[in-house]
Amino acid sequence: MSSRHFLNLLDLSKDELQTIIARAIELKSLGLPSQTLSQKTLGLIFDKSSTRTRVAFEVAMTQLGGNSLFLSNQDSQLGRGEPVADSARVLSRMVDCLAIRTFDQAMLEEFALHSNVPVINALSDDFHPCQLLADMQTYVEHKGGISGKTVSWIGDGNNMCQSYINAAIQFDFELKIASPFGYEPRKDLLELSPNRVSLLRSPSEAVAGSDLVVTDVWSSMGQEEEQARRKLAFADYQVTEELMSKAHSDALFMHCLPAHRGEEVSTKLLDREDCVVWDEAENRMHSQKALLEFMLNS
Ligand code: CP
Ligand code: NVA
User: In terms of domains, do 124 and 135 share one?
Assistant: no
State yes or no: is 275 an active-site residue. Answer: no
Is residue 29 domain-shared with residue 95, that is, in the same domain? Answer: yes
Asked whether 131 lines ligand 1 (CB < 6 A), one says yes
Average confidence (pLDDT) over 257-275: 97
Tell which phi-psi region holds residue 293, choosing left (phi > 0), alpha (psi between -120 and 50) or beta. alpha
Q: Say how many domains are in the chain.
A: 2
Please state the rounded mean pLDDT for residues 72-92: 94
The answer, yes or no, to whether any atom of ligand 2 lies below 6 A from the CB of 216, is: yes
CATH number of the structural domain spanning residue 200: 3.40.50.1370
| Residue 144 placed within a domain | yes
Query: Whole-angstrom Cα distance, residue 276 to residue 97?
Result: 30
Q: Which ligand is nearest to the CA of 223?
A: 2
- pLDDT at residue 124 in the model: 98
Q: Exposure string (b/e) for 275-289, b if CB count within 10 Å is 16 or more? A: bbbebbbbbbbbbbb
Give the pLDDT band of residue 57 (cuts 50, 70, 90): very high
Residue 2, in any domain of the structure: no
Q: What is the pLDDT of residue 33?
A: 85
- The model's confidence at residue 1, banded by pLDDT at 50, 70 and 90, is low
Is there an atom of ligand 1 within 6 Å of 152 CB? no
- How far is the centre of ligand 1, averaged over its atoms, from the C-alpha of 51 (Å)? 5
CA dihedral sign of residues 56, 162, 25, 108: negative
In this structure, are 144 and 199 located in the same domain? Answer: yes
- Peptide bond just before 203 cis, omega within 30 deg: no
The answer on 97 and 154 residing in a single domain is no
* Catalytically annotated residue among 216, 230, 286, 288: 216
Q: Would residue 248 show up in a list of annotated catalytic residues for this protein?
A: no
Q: Is 120 in the same domain as 180?
A: no
- Say if pTM beats, i.e. exceeds, 0.85: yes
In a domain, 1, yes or no: no
Partners of 42 in the β-ladder: 68, 97
- 215: buried, middle or exposed (CB in 10 Å: 19+, 13-18, 0-12)? buried
One domain for residues 191 and 148: yes
50 CA to middle of ligand 1, Å? Answer: 5
CA–CA distance, 245 with 242 (Å, rounded to integer): 5
CA distance 230 to 234: 6
Out of 49-53, 75-79, 170-174, 228-232, pick the least confident: 75-79
Based on the fold, state whether residues 184 and 215 are members of the same structural domain.
yes
Residues 116 and 161 in one domain: no
Domain that holds residue 70: 9-128+283-297
Does ligand 1 lie within 6 Å of residue 134's CB atom? no
Residue 3 lies in a domain: no
User: Got the DSSP string for 185-240?
Assistant: PPHHHHTT-TTTEEEES-HHHHHTT-SEEEE--SS-TT-GGGHHHHHHHTTT--B-
Ligand 2 centroid to residue 161 C-alpha, Å = 10
195 and 165 in contact (C-beta within 8 Å)? no
Instruction: State the catalytic residue, choosing from 5, 52, 54, 101.
Output: 101
Please check whether residues 66 and 176 belong to one and the same domain.
no
Reported in sequence order, the residue ranges of the chain that DSSP labels E, i.e. its strands, are: 41-46, 67-72, 97-101, 119-121, 150-154, 174-178, 197-200, 212-215, 252-255
Q: Compute the average pLDDT of residues 94-101.
A: 98
Q: Could you identify the atom of ligand 2 that is nearest to the CA of residue 256?
A: 5
**Residues 172 and 262 reside in one and the same domain:** yes
87 and 197, same structural domain?
A: no
* Average pLDDT across the chain, whole number: 97
Residue 4, in any domain of the structure: no
Which residues have a Cβ under 8 Å from the Cβ of 106 and sit 6 or more positions away? none
CB 41 within 8 Å of CB 96: yes
In this structure, is residue 170 part of a structural domain?
yes
- What's the first-to-final CA gap in the chain, in angstroms? 16
Q: Are residues 73 and 61 in the same domain?
A: yes
Helix (H) or strand (E) holding 161: helix 159-171
27 domain residue, yes or no: yes
The protein residue with its alpha carbon nearest to ligand 1, atom 3, reads 53
- Of the candidates 166, 167, 175, the residue with the CA atom closest to the CA atom of residue 195: 175
Q: Which atom of ligand 2 is nearest to the CA of 131?
A: 5
Is 38 a residue whose pLDDT tops 70? yes
> What would the pLDDT profile of 103-139 be if each residue is shown by its tens digit?
999 999 999 999 999 999 999 999 999 999 999 999 9
Query: What is the percent of the chain where pLDDT is above 90?
Result: 96
Ligand 2 site, residue 8, Cβ cutoff 6 A: no
Judge contact between 126 and 159, C-beta under 8 A. yes
- If we measure between CA atoms, which residue out of 221, 215, 196 comes closest to residue 255? 215
Site to probe by mutation for ligand 2, drawn from 50, 132, 160, 263 as the one with most ligand atoms within 8 Å of Cβ, is: 160
Determine, yes or no, domain membership for 38. yes
Contact indicator for 24, 50 with CB cutoff of 8 Å: no
Neighbours of 222 (CB within 10 A): 11
pLDDT tens sequence across 205-249 = 999 999 999 999 999 999 999 999 999 999 999 999 999 999 999
